[in-house]
Amino acid sequence: MNNKIEHSFSFDPYCGYTQEQLLAITPPDSEPSDFREFWTVKYHEVRSMPVEITVQRRIWSPNPAIEINEVYYRSWDGVVIGAWLSRPRDPKGAILLCHGYGNPVIPTFSEEFAVIAPCLRGLGMSKHPDIPWQSAEHVVYGIESRETYSLLGCAADLWMAASVLAELYPGLEKNLHYRGGSFGGGMGALSVPWDPRIRSAYLNIPTFGHNPLRLRFESKGSGEVVRQYRMKHPECDAVLNYFDAATAARYFNIPVLVSPALFDPTVVPPGQFAIANAIPEQFRELYILPAGHYSVPENAPVQEKIEERIRAYALNQEPAPGIYCAESHK
């Protein structure tokens, strides 16, 4: 790898890995024997719930060709989730869009595809009196049990969002695609493999990958909070093993475009590549970014190719499995 990024962090955002070493990372061997059963059962429990929309109201749109609504719906454990829902005049399909960590704001919507963008429980429009809205507390909320961990509820919120889309815009769910970055990338790896309604996925700089490996490295993201918590509570591994996005990524059977970064101070690269490498090769299209959660000009040409491919996926064009990266970082 050439042209290493200069930085002032007190730790190494490359985690000491070269691109070749990152591409050699395999999924963890910590998969529980009932991992697939656990996630499949939870998915079907959520799908069996009635779609209960508590509020739907149209809001102003900066584009007259796109109608935008605020929607509130009831999800797992009775938690009310807020979402933005957009619909152009002649949609070609739909996108389930998941935000990163923090306080999500209204996204940019598409002139071609309907988009549902839920704020997952505790965050943004879905603030809750019992669920922390700060990522440093949200990421360990309920971690004492796999049944109460916040990430399970977040997966349920995404599955219910797809059901809400289908309820309000019948037919569009037949061409439904997932898109998420960072927190949203990790949540996509955890939730999408179990949902047969989704036809393709884009995971950008995804987190929650290979917990035994990623939690060895310092960062400035939510993973650092989990790392610090785990040092005091090693017993949490029994729960984290069910929420490893690299383990879940093995179960993808749809086209997946994934873009991990070689350098990332927020989501450590070994965890990102563990997810990317775990996706079955026949379904994986890999775009390697020079940097994640950090602006460098070398990212631009890779991002342009990614946007082209995302649109191609949503238009049901053939995937092109392979590996792509910036020329100076091959």
DSSP strand pairing (80-88 vs 53-59): unpaired
Look up the pTM and report it. 0.94
Kindly report, residue by residue over 10-49, the tens digit of the pLDDT: 999 999 999 999 999 999 999 999 999 999 999 999 999 9
Q: What's the rounded mean pLDDT across residues 85-101?
A: 95
Q: Give residue 186's pLDDT.
A: 98
Query: Would the pLDDT of 327 be above 60?
Result: no
Residues with Cβ within 8 Å of 250's Cβ and at least 6 positions away in sequence, in order, are 27, 278, 279, 280
- For 211-226, the pLDDT digits (tens) are 999 999 999 999 999 9
Classify residue 114 as exposed, middle or buried by CB count within 10 Å of its CB (0-12, 13-18, 19+). buried
222 CB-contact burial (10 Å; exposed 0-12 / middle 13-18 / buried 19+): buried
Q: How much is the pLDDT for 3?
A: 79
57-88 CB burial, b ≥16 within 10 A, e <16: eeeeeeeeebbbbebbbbbbeebbbbbbbbbb
75-84, 144-153, 293-302: which range is least confident on average? 293-302
Is 90 exceeded by the pLDDT of residue 236? yes
pLDDT at 102: 81
Cα gap 120→39, rounded to integer Å:
18
Residue 203 in contact with residue 188, Cβ under 8 Å?
yes
DSSP run (H or E) holding 287: strand 284-291
Range picked from 2-6, 106-110, 168-172, 201-205 for highest mean pLDDT: 201-205
> What letter represents residue 167's amino acid?
E
d(CA 329, CA 87): 39
* Mean pLDDT (whole number) for 61-87: 96
Q: What is the pLDDT of residue 330?
A: 47
Q: What is the pLDDT of residues 255-302, one digit of tens each?
A: 999 999 999 999 999 999 999 999 999 999 999 999 999 999 999 999
Asked whether the predicted pLDDT for residue 125 surpasses 80, the reply is yes
What pLDDT is stored for residue 232 in this prediction? 97
Kindly tell me if the per-residue pLDDT of 319 is higher than 70. no
Domains of the chain and any CATH numbers: 19-329 (3.40.50.1820)
Question: 184-198, 229-243, 304-318 — which is least confidently predicted?
Answer: 304-318
222-233: average pLDDT = 96
| Average pLDDT taken over every residue of the chain | 93
